[in-house]
Structure 1
Amino acid sequence: MSIRQSLLAILDEGDCYGYQLRVEFERRTGHSRSLNVGQVYATLDRLERDGLVLKLGANSTGHVYYAITDGGRLAVRDWFGIAMPSAALDELALKVALAQSLPRVDAAAVVALQRESTAAEVDALRREESAGAVARQLVGEAQLAAAEAELGWLLRAEVLVRGSESFGLEAEPPRRGRPVRG
Structure 2
Amino acid sequence: MSVRHALLALLSEGPKYGLQLRQEFEARTGEVWPLNVGQVYTTVARLERDGLVASDDGDEPGPQKTFRITPEGGAELARWLTTPPTADAPPRDELVIKVLVAARLPEADVAGILQSHRRHLIETMSRYTRLKQDAAEDDLGLLLVADAEIFRLEAVVRWLDAAEGRLRHRPPVASPAAPAPAPARRTARAAR
- TM-score norm. by structure 2 comes to 0.43
Structure number with greater CO (CA < 8 Å, separation at least 6) is: 1
Bigger CA radius of gyration: 2
- TM-score norm. by structure 1 comes to 0.45
